[in-house]
A and B are shown apart, each in its own frame.
Chain A
Amino acid sequence: MNIPLNIDWQQILLHLLNFAILAGGLYLLLFKPVKAFMAKRESYYQNMDNEAKQKLQEAETLKVNYAQQLDGAAQEIAQKKADAQKAIEASRSEQLKMAKDEADRILESARANSEREHDKMLRDAQKEISDLAITAAEKLLLKGEGSPYEQFLNAANAEKRGEPDA
C-alpha cells in the first residue's frame, strides 16, 4: 500500500525506539537525580522550618511559664509582706500592752508606796502628837501648875520657842 507523504512505519518505529532510549536516559541521568536533590533540599528546609516552629513553640511555653512564675512570685511577695505586716502589728500591740501593763504596775506600785508613805507619815504624826500629848500630860500631872490644858499650852509654846521645859 502506497501511503501518502512517504510515511514509513519502520521509520516511525525507529523514531519511537530512538525516543524511548532518550527518555529512559534522560530520566535516569537527569530527571531522577535532580528531582531527588530538589526533594532533599525541600525536606532540609522543611525540617529547618519545623525546628524553628518547634523552638518558637518552646520559647512561647517558657515565656508563659516564666510569666506564671513571676505572677506566683509577686503573689508570694505580697503574701509575705502582708504576713510581716501582721506580725509587726501583733508585736507592736503586744509591746504596747506590755508597756501599758508595766506603766500600770509602776503606777500602782507608786500609788501603793505613796499610800504607804502617807499612812506612815500620818501614823508618825499621830504618834508624835500623842507622844507630845502624853508628855505634856505627864508634865502637867507631875508639876501641878494651873489647869492641865494651860500647862499643855505653855509647854507647847515653850517647846515652839525652843525654851527648856520648866
Chain B
Amino acid sequence: MKSKKKQVFIVLWIAVIVLLGVLAIVVGSPGKSETVQETMRDAVLHETGQISLFGLKNVNPGLISGMVVTAILLVAAALIRIFAIPRFKMVPGRFQMLIEQAVGLFDNLAKNNSPWRHGFLGVYLFAVGTYIFVGTLFELIGVQVITVSGNPITLPAPLSDVNGAIAIGCLSYLVIMSGGIAGNGVKGIGKTLKEFSLPISMSFRLFGALLSGLLVTELVYYYVQLSVVLPVVIGVLFTLLHALIQTYVLTMLTALYYGEVSEPDHKEKVKKAKKAKKAA
C-alpha cells in the first residue's frame, strides 16, 4: 500500500514538472530588453547597469554588493560576539569549532608563511578571506535591485567588479609592502617593488575568475531552455568551488609574498648576533 502511494506521488510529481516545463516553453517570454552580447558587455563594463548610491553617485552594482556583504558580515559578527563568544566552552561544540577553525585557518596561514612577523597579516588574511568567500557566495542569494536605467538586475559578487578587484589586489600589495618595510625598512620596499607585476596579477586574477563565473551564469540564465537543472551545477557548485579557490589563492599569495619580503636579512641577523656577543 505504501509503495503504491509512493508510485502515485512520483508519477504526479513528474507530470507536474513536465506540464510546467511545456507551459514555460509554450507561453514564452515577453521579449528580451537587451541582447546577450549587451548583457555580457554590461556585466563587464557596467555602462548602463549602474545603481544610484543614495542619490549621490551612480556606481557599479559590485560596490553595492560589497556594502551589503559588509553589512551582513558585520551583523553576523556582532551577533556571534554578543551571543556565541561569551558562551564558548573549553571543549568546543560544532559552531564554536567552526568559528575557531575559520580564525585559526587564516592565523596559521600567516604564522606558517611569515613566522617572524604575522600579527597584522593574520587579521588582514582573515578579513580578506572572509570577504572574498562570502562575497562570492553572495551572488547565490540573488538580491534584485533596479538600475538607473530602470532594468532589474541581480547583485553580483563584489569582486566581479573591476574596481573592487583592483582595490583588493592593490591593497594586498600594499599590505605586502608594509610587511617589507616593517621587517627590512627601505630594503623591504625594494624587495616588494621587485614584484611590481603583483598588484596587476592579483587584481585581474580575482576580477577574471569572478567575472568568468558571472558571465557563465548570465549566459545560462539568459536562455530559458538552459535555466532548468543546469543552474544547480553552474550556480551552486561552480560558485562554491571558485569561492574556495579564489579565497585560498589570494590569501596564500599574500601570505607567501609577505613572508618573503618581511624575512630579516641573513647578514643583519649575523651582525646583530655579533653585536649581542660583544655586548655580553
Contacts and interface: CB of A to CB of B under 8 A. Distances in A.
B45 A6 contact: yes
Main secondary structure of the interface of A (DSSP, over half): helix
B22 interface: no
Contacts of A38: 100, 103-104
A10 B77 CA distance: 28
B134 to A, nearest CB: 10
A99 interface: no
Given A6-B162, A26-B126, A19 B66 contact: yes
- Dominant SS at the B interface? helix
Given A31-B123, A31-B126, A11 B80 contact: no
Interface residues of B, number: 46
Contact of A15 (B63, B81, B103, B130): B63
A127 interface: no
Interface string B167-179: 1101100000000
B57 A23 contact: no
A18 B162 contact: no
Interface string B28-68: 00000000000000001111000001000101101100110
B78 interface: yes
A15 B90 contact: no
A27 to B, nearest CB: 5
Band of interface residues on A: 20 to 34
A73 to B, nearest CB: 46
Contacts of B90: 41, 44
B137 interface: no
Nearest to B47: A6
Contact of B70 (A7, A18, A29, A37): A18
Interface of A: 5-8, 10-16, 18-19, 21-23, 25-27, 29-31, 33-35, 37-38, 41, 44
22 contacts: A6-B45, A7-B162, A8-B60, A8-B163, A11-B59, A11-B63, A15-B62, A15-B167, A19-B66, A19-B128, A22-B69, A22-B74, A22-B130, A23-B123, A26-B73, A26-B74, A29-B74, A30-B77, A31-B103, A33-B81, A34-B99, A38-B104
Interface of B: 44-47, 53, 57, 59-60, 62-63, 66-67, 69-70, 73-74, 77-78, 80-81, 85, 88, 90, 99-100, 103-104, 107, 122-124, 126-128, 130-131, 158, 161-164, 166-168, 170-171
Given A34-B99, A35-B103, 18 more contacts: A6-B46, A7-B166, A11-B60, A12-B167, A14-B53, A14-B59, A18-B67, A19-B70, A19-B128, A19-B131, A19-B168, A23-B123, A25-B74, A29-B80, A31-B127, A33-B81, A34-B100, A37-B88
